[in-house]
Structure 1
Amino acid sequence: MIDQFWTFFIAITLLTLFPGVDSLLVVRNSSRGGWKDGIATSTGICSGLFVHATVSALGISALLLQSAIAFNLLKLIGGGYLLWLGSCSLWNALHRKEVTFSAVQPAVPRIFLWSRSLREGFVCNVFNPKTLLFYMAFLPQFIDPSRSPIVQSLFMAAVHFCIAMVYQGGLAILACRISDWFKGSSTGRLLEGLAGVILVSFGLRIFLERRI
């Protein structure tokens, strides 16, 4: 389907394993609502990859990066959303007597596709300019010009989807187990606050992101 498939596969696997805002969001939501909440978050995040693959293949990403207004708007939405999520975590850590985790809250609403965690993952990924920059720079290296760039980009996004779902699914289960150990303790509040600080820092970094 693409040039140098195994090179792409190894590279995208290694890059997926590198911790970032996606991994943190999966861990945070798994601690909040259980492993199903973490899987929902991962599904939302990975679904956003197809959006980036499509706009990259169509050249829309290049236009966005050339437009200061569009790029700054993307930063405001993506960075602002992370700041809001981080602020919510900090508020919960500071004002709740104890942080309740997966054993107390329902894991996922009845309508999975409308779940809060899935929406959070999707919005964070789609409006993250760092993901946009990455897909624009990385995917074209493996595109065969004699074939459809959209089909090849979507194929690479599907491979990335599968790898990320496996990795983040493991993170969700691990985070759920660890959160059970600290359920109802001050350590749980500390972890919630730490997640909030990191999310806020990621949001600020996105605000400082520059066009290439």
Structure 2
Amino acid sequence: MLGIHDLSLFIISGLLLNIAPGPDSLLIMTRSATQGWRAGSAAALGIGAGTCVHVLAAALGLSALLAASSWAFSVVKWLGAAYLVWIGLAMLISRRSEAANEGAGDAPPAPPPLPYRKIFSQGFWTNVLNPKVALFFLAFVPQFIAPEAPHKALAFIVLGAIFNFNGMLWCHLLAVSTALASRRLRPGALLARWLNRGIGALFLSFGLRLALSERP
């Protein structure tokens, strides 16, 4: 069909790649643990929308331009790194502000909930501004398309949709399971603040690692 081969191997490989931890999984778990599964699902949907952008870009050849141009890769890389660092710093600064209020005698507040629209946007930009995701699709998906396929772009989009669908299943499962675990543990406001502080530091480290990375 459309020149696609080894579809079962593609599905299994895609599931394993989606399960591998990274900024996307971390964002889903953070939002699910602090705001419930709906917030985690909002982040997952944003990530899925970002994946659609990468799939279409790769099918249309834009990712090939990103792979061939060191300048384009560097621009996207620095934008993505800056966004991850911004998320991390925003979480850390927010926690410091709350700590100052606590020191002034206020009761320790729980982290303020974010609107689902903003959570969706975080998931979207975290995924879209990662150039390695674009290069991943450019390198991984064509391995399952025959060289003589009559409609390679369409085959690419079909495989990308399958990959994204399976990824969304995993992401929503991660959101629900994290929310259930958090509900059972019932973390207090102090633990929730420290959780966000640790997640902010991890996002900061992800951003710095992306900024210092070289083209694969």
TM tier, smaller: 0.7 to 0.9
Match of 1:197 in 2: 201
Give the counterpart letter for 2:160 in structure 1: A
Contact 2:141 2:160 in 1 (8 A): no
Match of 1:136 in 2: 138
RMSD over aligned Cα atoms: 2.0
Match of 1:210 in 2: 214
1:186 offset after TM fit, Å?
2.2
Q: What TM-score, normalized to structure 2?
A: 0.86
Contact 1:27 1:175 in 2 (8 A): yes
User: Which whole-Å CA distance do the structure 2 matches of 1:176 and 1:90 have between them?
Assistant: 22
Which of 149, 163, 167 is 2:166 aligned to?
Answer: 163
Moved more, 14-23 or 24-33: 24-33
State whether structure 2 residue 110 is matched by structure 1 residue 100: yes
- Match runs of 1:1-212 below 5 Å: 1=1, 2-96=4-98, 97=102, 98=108, 100=110, 105=113, 108=116, 115-145=117-147, 146-180=149-183, 181-212=185-216
User: Which whole-Å CA distance do the structure 1 matches of 2:16 and 2:134 have between them?
Assistant: 18
| Rg comparison, structure with higher value | 2
1:185 offset after TM fit, Å?
3.5
User: Which whole-Å CA distance do the structure 2 matches of 1:70 and 1:80 have between them?
Assistant: 15
1:72 offset after TM fit, Å?
1.1
Contact 1:26 1:38 in 2 (8 A): yes
Structure 1 unpaired stretches of 5+: 109-114
1:59 offset after TM fit, Å?
2.3
User: Which whole-Å CA distance do the structure 1 matches of 2:199 and 2:113 have between them?
Assistant: 19
1:140 offset after TM fit, Å?
0.9
1:58 offset after TM fit, Å?
2.5
Contact 1:34 1:107 in 2 (8 A): no
Q: 1:176 to 1:125 in 2, by over 3 A?
A: same
- SS at 2:167's partner residue? helix
Q: 1:143 to 1:172 in 2, by over 3 A?
A: same
Q: Once the two structures are superposed, what CA deviation does each residue of 1:107-131 show, in whole Å capped at 9, x if it has no partner? A: 73xxxxxx11111111111110121
Q: How many residues align?
A: 204
1:179 offset after TM fit, Å?
3.7
Structure 2 unpaired stretches of 5+: 103-107
User: Which whole-Å CA distance do the structure 1 matches of 2:154 and 2:79 have between them?
Assistant: 28
Q: What TM-score, normalized to structure 1?
A: 0.87
Contact 1:64 1:71 in 2 (8 A): yes
Q: 1:24 to 1:38 in 2, by over 3 A?
A: same
1:175 offset after TM fit, Å?
2.5
Q: What is the percent sequence identity of the aligned residues?
A: 35
Q: Once the two structures are superposed, what CA deviation does each residue of 1:13-68 show, in whole Å capped at 9, x if it has no partner? A: 11111111110011122234321111111011012222212222222212112222
